[in-house]
């Protein structure tokens, strides 16, 4: 499983490098003002679109795999620290934790993927015009908990960095990690350990979730699942 994660990360990096090289080639072809170069540029554009979508899927899968292993590791560490059996099979127990914490999701339902497709097809990312303030919030706020990767029901906010989490999930994380619990949001620069005292009820996120559900029920779907 750990080897799979490493392979996924390496594959994701290679895809990004390949896309960058392809983009440079398209720019070069487009700068040459001939009919042949225009045809080359168009063909490469189609190839770039395919590389972008496939690359996004690989990166989403790699991120999901890393999260599964992280959650399994936290649960395993908590269990191992309190284990008193002399014949405790650490390897078998960790594999059990991995299976328990493995969650699968169609990468094509991921918000980053759907936004990419809309951008490549020149489609608008939002269709609701009833509430401009909420739409602007939706574009930068996620309703997905960065730890559980599930839709938040009872969101709380970190008073220091402002990131939001599902209350029950972050409580489980803090209990497992204790003084080593830090904001699980990818790329967060907040280095202060998480504690129940650092969390407050996230009224803004509650409003965003309510508006999102209201919009979904009327058929005007707004997605806000990418990282904030």
7 and 103 share one domain: yes
pLDDT band at 44 (very low <50, low <70, confident <90, very high): low
pLDDT at residue 117 in the model: 74
- Residue 133 to residues 45, 80, 136: CA-CA distances in angstroms? 35, 48, 5
pLDDT at residue 140 in the model: 45
Tell me which of 166-175, 181-190, 194-203, 219-228 is least confident.
219-228
pLDDT at residue 152 in the model: 93
pTM: 0.43
103 and 134 share one domain: no
103 and 135 share one domain: no
pLDDT at residue 211 in the model: 84
pLDDT band at 29 (very low <50, low <70, confident <90, very high): low
Mean pLDDT of 183-194: 87
98 and 190 share one domain: no
Percent of residues, the chain, with pLDDT higher than 90: 15
83 and 132 share one domain: no
Give the number of other CB atoms < 10 A from CB of residue 31: 9
Residue reference for tokens 């934790």: 97
Domain boundary among 111, 142, 168: 111
User: How many angstroms from the chain centroid is the CA of residue 128?
Assistant: 24
Tell me which of 43-47, 70-74, 200-204, 224-228 is least confident.
224-228
Instruction: State both tokens at 120.
Output: 């490549």
Tell me which of 5-19, 29-43, 121-135, 165-179 is least confident.
121-135
Helix (H) or strand (E) holding 165: strand 164-166
What 3-state DSSP class applies to 144? Answer: strand
Q: What is the CATH number of the domain that holds 132?
A: 3.30.40.10
pLDDT at residue 188 in the model: 85
Checking if the pLDDT of 135 tops 60, the result is no
* pLDDT tens digit sequence for 9-25: 455 555 555 655 655 65
- Total tally of structural domains belonging to the chain: 2
pLDDT at residue 25 in the model: 58
Checking if the pLDDT of 185 tops 50, the result is yes
Instruction: State both tokens at 225.
Output: 């699942």
Q: Is residue 226 part of a domain?
A: no
H-type alpha helices, 82-177 = 90-101, 111-120, 132-140, 167-177
* pLDDT tens digit sequence for 92-108: 887 887 777 676 667 77
pLDDT at residue 26 in the model: 55
Domain boundary among 70, 85, 111: 111
Domain housing 100:
2-111
95 and 149 share one domain: no
Q: Which residue has the higher pLDDT, 182 or 88?
A: 182
Q: Are 152 and 210 contacting, i.e. CB atoms less than 8 angstroms apart?
A: no
Short-list 4, 17, 138, CA closest to 69: 4
* pLDDT tens digit sequence for 114-123: 777 776 666 5
């Amino acid at each position: 499983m750990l080897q799979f994660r490493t392979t996924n990360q390496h594959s994701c990096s290679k895809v990004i490098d390949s896309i960058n090289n392809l983009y440079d080639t398209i720019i070069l072809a487009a700068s040459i003002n001939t009919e042949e170069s225009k045809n080359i540029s168009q063909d490469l554009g189609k190839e770039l679109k395919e590389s972008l979508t496939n690359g996004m899927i690989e990166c989403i899968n790699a991120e999901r795999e890393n999260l599964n292993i992280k959650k399994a590791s936290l649960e395993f560490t908590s269990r191992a620290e309190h284990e008193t059996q002399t014949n405790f099979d650490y390897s078998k127990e960790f594999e059990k934790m991995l299976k328990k914490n493995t969650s699968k999701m169609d990468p094509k339902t991921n918000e980053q993927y759907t936004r990419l497709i809309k951008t490549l097809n020149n489609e608008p990312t939002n269709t609701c015009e009833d509430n401009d303030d909420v739409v602007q919030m939706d574009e930068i706020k996620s309703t997905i908990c960065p730890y559980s990767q599930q839709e938040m029901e009872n969101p709380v906010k970190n008073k220091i960095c402002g990131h939001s989490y599902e209350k029950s999930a972050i409580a489980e994380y803090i209990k497992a990690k204790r003084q080593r619990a830090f904001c699980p949001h990818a790329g967060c620069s907040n280095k202060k350990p998480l504690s129940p005292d650092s969390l407050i009820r996230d009224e803004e996120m509650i409003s965003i979730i309510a508006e999102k559900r209201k919009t979904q029920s009327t058929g005007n779907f707004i997605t806000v699942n990418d990282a904030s």
